[in-house]
Structure 1
Amino acid sequence: MEVVEEIEYEGLPSNAGHSVSMMAGALAGITEHTVMFPVDSIKTRMQVFATSPAAVYTGIGNAFTRISSTEGMRALWRGVSSVIVGAGPAHAIHFGAYEAVKELAGGNVEGGRNQWIATSLAGASATIASDALMNPFDVIKQRMQVHRSEFRSFVTCARTVYRNEGLSAFYVSYPTTLTMTVPFTAVQFTVYEQLKSFLNPSGSYSPATHMLSGGLAGAVAGAVTTPLDVAKTILQTRGTSTDPEIRHCRGMVDAFRIIWTRDGLKGFARGLTPRVLTFMPSNALCWLSYEFFKAAIRDD
């Protein structure tokens, strides 16, 4: 009887890591975003300060029912093409940078004292790099998600936004995005790594551990960064608004002022529930896919 030696998942050589991490990250990113896209569409609509009563939703169930009954189920998937095109390369850069910086900072040294710092630094560095690529695709996605969007093609949307508002429209939210996603990613990766180490000390490939750790990490990070996400949505969809104040919103400070003036403290929690409900399963799926693809690619 042939004995097959089991490969230690976490003990695989680091020199195989960066290209594998990038490929695994790209596949995981596409999987994550496409599966949870309808809930993300609802979150976007709930965060926009709509002028039409038809575009005001009281909750996830209310939004799902009204959108599907008046616009059809396809409306919940509008903009997914932008995510598919952008998420692969962005997540490849994200996970590739994460593994590279983590290695350089000593985060892979067993029993190292600076693992927490290395993980946080790696997560933040990965976000800065990936968001630079993903931000324009996210702008296009949200322009297509809003109520009564005129766009059905992400290429047409990109051309129209560029022609009417210039290149800056794709990056007006980038500082806000970084302000949100750097702490989001640092919290997410740190919570994930700590939970994974606690639940799975052996470091073996464990789908249940990766899903649970990823889901809880995504929920925590998503909840604490929701106020910044509301501001980002206002900035990224400002060109679709008929409200002069929103159309001329220049940055995070302006967005915060609009939120506070119009909706008070509760305005900063707009879309909290769908955001958490998006990130829990999507992050669980993302980490499960990432760890699976990383193990599978390395094993080939």
Structure 2
Amino acid sequence: MGDVSSNGSSEKSCNTVISITPWQQMISSCSGAILTSFFVTPLDVVKIRLQAQNSPMKRGQCFLYCNGLMDHVCWCRNGNGNNTKPVHWYKRGLPQPFTGTLDAFMKISRQEGPTSLWSGLPPTLVMAVPATVVYFTCYEQFRNKLGYRDGLEQGQWWKPMVAGVTARTWAVTLISPLEMVRTKMQSEQLSYTAVWKSVKKMVRRDGVIRLWMGLGPTLLRDVPFSALYWFGYESFRSMLQKIHGKVGINFWENFFAGAASGAIAGVITLPFDVIKTHRQIELGDMMNLSGEKQTSSTFRLIQNLYRQQGVTSLFTGIVPRVVKVAPACAIMISSYEYFKSMFREHNRLMQNSLAI
């Protein structure tokens, strides 16, 4: 945005460069990740409860939890009617069955308490916050290094795409080993000490590359999504700025741009999401069985899906994906830009006070 400074992103206003520091960028993205997780998590809690009602999960069965911001492989620890242990958020029995999404919201809130809708929030925050901080901060740093200015004129359309792809690849690669460790802890219910010993043993046996197991399927979806999302967002932002004839857009315009670009990118990359979901659960099952189950390649998985269910299988779940991704992108980018604007105003006042 505007001229680039060594401190971070910047914005030109009244011929004065108002910049924010990387730390302020990180705080902005952290706040956005927390708000996004808080608002979108209930949707996925209800979705999983409805799915568990229609197809009861067995003890040790693997499933994918996603709040629109981060994906996590989870296991049902108390299936087959075993209620001797604490009942987890994804396997709770209710006296009456759910008849739909709204009915599930009402019954869960009334019979288990409203806080039950956010039962899946902690595991998401553990991974979503650091991943999002790295992702958004790196995106702006890479975009500024490429010399991008507000607007997509003069052949700059590729800069947001390259910055988004680079930032996403870096963020996912950095977080992948942590996600693998967290998944192993959950699947085998190990202590931190036991996990550390298990990871060291695994690295000695299979090499350090084992820590990035499952990275390929994640990049398969997230990289093209990021390229399309940032291109769409910067395009909408540029269009709205032209309409107003000024630099910058307000909170609700950011919200619209984020929702629209997220929905478009989500629909286009849906086949990648379907493949990633199947592959991630397959890898999760392998880990849950302590390596006894062998997984097929991603290419073979695509062949099997096409052979068994046809091309339509790659577009399964389009409505739930858009319903989650669009608001998640909207809340994330609008809150992120809001906090950045707040820090810019703070920095501007500080500069003015020092100049007096």
TM-score past 0.5 threshold: yes
Partner residue of 1:292 out of 338, 347, 354: 338
State whether residues 34 and 129 of structure 2, in contact with CA within 8 Å, keep that contact through their aligned partners in structure 1. yes
State whether residues 29 and 133 of structure 2, in contact with CA within 8 Å, keep that contact through their aligned partners in structure 1. yes
Q: Number of aligned pairs?
A: 278
Unpaired runs of 5+ in structure 2?
1-9, 58-62, 64-97, 204-208, 347-356
Q: 1:102 corresponds to which letter in structure 2? A: R
Q: Does 1:37 align with 2:81?
A: no
Specify the SS of the correspondent of 2:319: helix
Gap change, CA 1:140 and 1:31, over 3 Å in 2 = farther
- Structure 1 Cα separation of the partners of residues 167 and 311 of structure 2: 31
Aligned-pair identity (%): 23
Partner residue of 1:18 out of 10, 19, 22: 22
1:230, CA displacement in angstroms? 1.8
- Structure 2 Cα separation of the partners of residues 61 and 255 of structure 1: 34
- Structure 2 Cα separation of the partners of residues 154 and 83 of structure 1: 19
- With structure 2 as the length reference, what TM-score do the two structures score? 0.63
Gap change, CA 1:53 and 1:108, over 3 Å in 2 = same
CA-atom RMSD, angstroms? 4.3
Q: Does 1:173 align with 2:220?
A: no
State whether residues 151 and 237 of structure 2, in contact with CA within 8 Å, keep that contact through their aligned partners in structure 1. no
- Structure 1 Cα separation of the partners of residues 211 and 107 of structure 2: 32
1:169, CA displacement in angstroms? 7.2
Gap change, CA 1:42 and 1:34, over 3 Å in 2 = same
Gap change, CA 1:109 and 1:76, over 3 Å in 2 = closer
- Structure 1 Cα separation of the partners of residues 144 and 40 of structure 2: 31
Q: Does 1:268 align with 2:314?
A: yes
Q: Kindly report which structure 2 residues correspond to 1:1-300, keeping only aligned pairs within 5 A, or say none.
A: 10-11=11-12, 13=17, 15-40=19-44, 53-54=55-56, 62=100, 77=118, 79-108=120-149, 113-135=154-176, 159=195, 166=202, 171-201=212-242, 202-238=246-282, 239-240=284-285, 247-300=293-346
1:22, CA displacement in angstroms? 2.3
- The structure whose residues are more often strand, as a share, is 2
1:205, CA displacement in angstroms? 4.1
CA deviations on 1:46-76 (whole Å, 9 max, x unpaired) are: 9x9x9x94469xxx97578679979978886
- Structure 2 Cα separation of the partners of residues 236 and 79 of structure 1: 19
State whether residues 134 and 171 of structure 2, in contact with CA within 8 Å, keep that contact through their aligned partners in structure 1. yes
State whether residues 80 and 141 of structure 1, in contact with CA within 8 Å, keep that contact through their aligned partners in structure 2. no
Gap change, CA 1:26 and 1:63, over 3 Å in 2 = same
- Structure 1 Cα separation of the partners of residues 218 and 247 of structure 2: 33
State whether residues 44 and 142 of structure 1, in contact with CA within 8 Å, keep that contact through their aligned partners in structure 2. no
Specify the SS of the correspondent of 1:106: coil
- Structure 2 Cα separation of the partners of residues 54 and 212 of structure 1: 38
- Structure 1 Cα separation of the partners of residues 294 and 106 of structure 2: 32
Gap change, CA 1:134 and 1:80, over 3 Å in 2 = farther
1:187, CA displacement in angstroms? 0.6
CA deviations on 1:220-278 (whole Å, 9 max, x unpaired) are: 111111221122222222234899xx952244213323422443222212322111111
Q: Higher relative CO (CA 8 A, sep ≥ 6), structure 1 or 2?
A: 1
State whether residues 45 and 117 of structure 2, in contact with CA within 8 Å, keep that contact through their aligned partners in structure 1. yes
Report the more deviating stretch, 15-24 or 285-294: 15-24
State whether residues 180 and 213 of structure 2, in contact with CA within 8 Å, keep that contact through their aligned partners in structure 1. no
Greater Rg over alpha carbons, structure: 2
- With structure 1 as the length reference, what TM-score do the two structures score? 0.73
- Structure 2 Cα separation of the partners of residues 142 and 77 of structure 1: 20
State whether residues 217 and 280 of structure 2, in contact with CA within 8 Å, keep that contact through their aligned partners in structure 1. no
